[in-house]
């Protein structure tokens, strides 16, 4: 595993959500023993219909459009995406500072943003967040 990616390849969960680091490829997700079997089944049967197994979550989410089958699948899973974006903030005395701000976007917001806007604001995809309730209700 590439050392630069280790900090962005993680799997966590709490009572309501699953969190996956965006540098995981789908092949790595399928091999990971701790990741939910149901999510792996969804990846295998639905996501990989229009996605190469070596594609990372980061890449797929960044370039995702609303006409892709994987988009509709993630929509059913109530997916949200944690991103960092460059923003300009006006401080006291009129000083303007540019820095990254972390936000959690709904999948519809992310896919609705055109590629030029994503590049302009220096968007970095950090994490995929899935609803456990939606995962449980999803029929494979």
Burial of 26-36, coded b for 16+ CB within 10 Å and e otherwise, reads bebbbeeeebb
d(CA 11, CA 118): 25
Q: Under DSSP, is residue 103 helix (H, G, I), strand (E, B) or coil?
A: strand
For residue range 80-128, list pLDDT tens digits in order: 999 999 988 877 777 888 888 999 999 999 999 999 999 999 999 999 9
Geometric angle at alpha carbon 29, from 132 and 137, rounded to 5°: 25
Mean pLDDT of 3-18: 84
For residue range 24-83, list pLDDT tens digits in order: 999 999 999 999 999 999 999 999 998 999 999 999 999 999 999 999 999 999 999 999
Residue 5 pLDDT? 64
Q: Which residues pair with 12 in a beta bridge?
A: 19
State the pTM of this model.
0.88
Q: Residues 6 or more apart from 32 whose CB is under 8 A from it? A: 11, 24
State the fold for domain 6-134.
3.30.465
Bigger pLDDT: 1 vs 80: 80
């Amino acid at each position: 595993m590439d050392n630069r990616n280790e900090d962005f390849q993680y799997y966590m969960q709490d009572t309501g959500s699953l969190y996956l680091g965006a540098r995981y490829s789908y092949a790595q997700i399928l091999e990971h023993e701790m990741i939910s079997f149901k999510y792996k089944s969804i990846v295998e049967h639905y996501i990989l219909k229009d996605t190469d197994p070596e594609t990372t979550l980061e890449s797929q989410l960044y370039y995702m459009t609303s006409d892709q089958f994987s988009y509709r699948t993630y929509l059913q899973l109530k997916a949200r995406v944690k991103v960092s974006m460059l923003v300009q903030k006006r401080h006291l005395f009129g000083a303007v500072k540019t820095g990254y701000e972390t936000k959690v976007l709904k999948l519809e917001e992310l896919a609705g943003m055109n590629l030029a806007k994503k590049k302009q604001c220096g968007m970095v995809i950090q994490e995929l967040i899935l609803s456990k309730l939606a995962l449980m209700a999803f029929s494979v």
